[in-house]
Amino acid sequence: MNFRQFVSIACALVALGGCVPARVARTAGASGTVLDATTQEPVVAAVIRCSQSPELVVQTDRAGYFNLPPKVAWHLVPLGGDWITTNCSLKVEASGYVSQSIDVSFGDDRPRAVRLVRAN
């Protein structure tokens, strides 16, 4: 749904029932690089996912870089709603490496340097 459709639906709901899209849920996002812990070389095609929003999945590029954008979800609630923010637990996986979990706090936009250890 694009923004224009959302606004149209929201206006119709306000007119009909007194609800507005006043509550917004947002998960933390994250960016950074995934490196081999021993060689410091980029890990290509590592998969990064947020456990709180399973549909948020990205892969690293040739430089090992990833950017997992925050997820924003609008909820129709009675007047007076507020923002809901959640942290994100990232799971980083790559073939031949031990997976790693990283907790990302909402509002902490520092780039991450994830170092994966090779599996035996």
* 44 domain residue, yes or no: yes
* 12 domain residue, yes or no: no
- Distances in Å between the alpha carbon of 14 and those of 9, 22, 76? 9, 11, 9
Predicted local distance difference test score (pLDDT) of residue 54: 80
* 59 domain residue, yes or no: yes
Predicted local distance difference test score (pLDDT) of residue 18: 53
Question: In this prediction, what percent of the chain has a pLDDT beyond 90?
Answer: 43
CATH number for the domain harbouring residue 53: 2.60.40.1120
Decide: 22 and 79 in contact? Cβ < 8 Å: yes
Question: What's the domain range around 71?
Answer: 23-116
* 90 domain residue, yes or no: yes
**Arithmetic mean of pLDDT, 38-54:** 92
* 92 domain residue, yes or no: yes
Predicted model pTM: 0.71
